[in-house]
Structure formats: C-alpha cells, structure tokens
Amino acid sequence: MMLTDKNLAVLSKLEWRYATQKFDTNKKIDSATWDTVEKALILTPSSWGLQTWKFVVVTDAKIKEELVAASYGQKQVKDCSHVVVICRPDKLTAEYINEFVDFTASVHGLSAKEFAREHEMMLRMQKGMNEAQTAEWMSMQCYIALGNLMTAASMLDIDTCPMEGFSKKDYDRILGLDKSGCHSVVVCAMGYRSAEDQKANLPKVRFPKEKVIVRI
Ligand SMILES: Cc1cc2nc3c(=O)[nH]c(=O)nc-3n(C[C@H](O)[C@H](O)[C@H](O)COP(=O)(O)O)c2cc1C
C-alpha cells in the first residue's frame, strides 16, 4: 500500500515516541512550546465536554525530588523538564453541570434553555452514579487527556513517560491536592530523552494488526 507523506509523518512521530526512562536533565521545554502543550491539553475532548479534570504542572526542583520516592524510586519525575499530574475532582456536582451548561450557552451565544435536553441528561447521569462510579468515570476522562498529551508532545518532539507507578495518596499530600478537592489519577513526565537511554533504541512491542483489529 502506498503511504502518503502525511501518513508517514504521523507514523514516524508515533514510532519515535516511547516511554522515556532517562531524561536529559539539562534540557528544558521552552515557554512558547510549553504554552502549546497546555493548549493541547485544554483541547482534549471529554464526555459531554464536561472537562472534569485539573492539570497540575510541577517544575519546582524540590517538589520533583520529593515525587521520586512517591513514584517508587522512578527518577523520570525528577530528571524531566515538566511533570503533569492529571487529576480528577472529588465529586461531580449538579452545580458544576449547571455552570457548564451556562458557560456552553454563553460561548455559543445562546440561551441555556436551548440545552435543556442535554442538561437534563447530564444531571440524570450525575444522579445515577454512586461515588465510586463517578470517580471511575472522571478518571477515564483523565486518560483521554493523557493520550492527547503524549500525542501532541510527540508532534512537538517532546519526550514523555506516562506513569501509573506512583502512590496517589503521597502525590495528593505532597502537592496539597487533598486540600483542594482533587485527586491524582495519572502522571506524565515530559522533557527530552537522554542520549544514554537504551530504551529509545528498542523496537516497539506491539501485536500484529491481525490480532487486534477486527474488520466487520
Ligand atoms: C497508563 C500508563 C501507565 C504507565 N506507567 C508507567 C510507569 O509508571 N513507569 C514507566 O516507566 N512506564 C510506564 N508506562 C509505560 C508503558 O510501560 C509503555 O507505554 C508500554 O510498555 C509501551 O511502550 P512504549 O510507550 O515505549 O511504546 C505506562 C504507560 C501507560 C499508558
């Protein structure tokens, strides 16, 4: 099959990215590039567009050092340029949904009444989930942000390491999240790979498409 330049460009970026184990401590993401990363994060789609997340960006060297122990010794969080801790709120309230509907209406220059049907459905969904289900649903939204973040970063030649290997309890305490009604869900260390990172040269471990893609 003939691949166009666009096809090849997408594949080469996705082949290039890998879960970076060793970051170059001397290379930092410049502020214009970081601004683009933040905009990409904000552009992440979410269920109903509700955006039930907070992105905590850590660059403080002392805090990053503290995060190593909370990440079971993984040094990526110290050596990288920026750590993004993707968090979910404690709970999803009817007030939050009402506010979101008002905001949507104002962005579209419409009355909130135009969204009455969706508004009603969102409130029904919110009432229908218990605390654990709500937490799980909001955590799933956070993983969409993680995927979007890693792909956008690869387009900007930024390396990433997605991380679930950390203590949520310790992160919440170190970052003061427990006081702000937030919980850490998943982490992304971001920066530039060290020339010494052997993992960069390993071939990708991916099942062949016959095993994972079903055509109907
Ligand atoms: C949600 C998630 C959590 C992960 N947690 C860690 C982690 O804590 N530490 C780590 O070094 N890699 C972690 N990884 C990286 C995976 O092991 C890696 O993405 C996978 O083996 C595929 O390799 P590749 O990303 O290099 O292509 C995680 C990946 C994802 C998507």
pLDDT digits (tens, 9 = 90+) for 106-135: 999 999 999 999 999 999 999 999 999 999
74 CB under 6 A from ligand 1? yes
The full set of domains in the chain, from first to last, is 19-92+129-196 (3.40.109.10), 93-128 (no CATH)
**Residue 191 clears pLDDT 90, i.e. is over it:** yes
Query: What's CA 74's distance to the chain center, in Å?
Result: 19
**Residue 178 clears pLDDT 90, i.e. is over it:** no
Ligand 1 centroid – CA 6 distance (Å): 27
**Closest C-alpha to ligand 1, atom 11:** 21
Mean pLDDT over the full length of the chain = 97
pLDDT confidence tier of residue 91, bands split at 50, 70 and 90: very high
- The CA distances from residue 6 to 3, 10, 161, 170, 204, in Å, are 8, 6, 25, 43, 21
Report pLDDT for 214: 98
Q: What is the pTM of this model?
A: 0.97
Please state the rounded mean pLDDT for residues 23-37.
98
Ligand 1 atom showing the smallest separation from residue 21 Cα: 11
Please state the rounded mean pLDDT for residues 20-43.
98
Ligand 1 centroid – CA 91 distance (Å): 28
Ligand 1 centroid – CA 197 distance (Å): 15
**Residue 24 clears pLDDT 90, i.e. is over it:** yes
Report pLDDT for 1: 81
Please state the rounded mean pLDDT for residues 58-70.
98
**Closest C-alpha to ligand 1, atom 9:** 163
CA atoms within 13 A on the CB side of 33: 17
pLDDT > 70: percent of the chain: 100
Report pLDDT for 76: 98
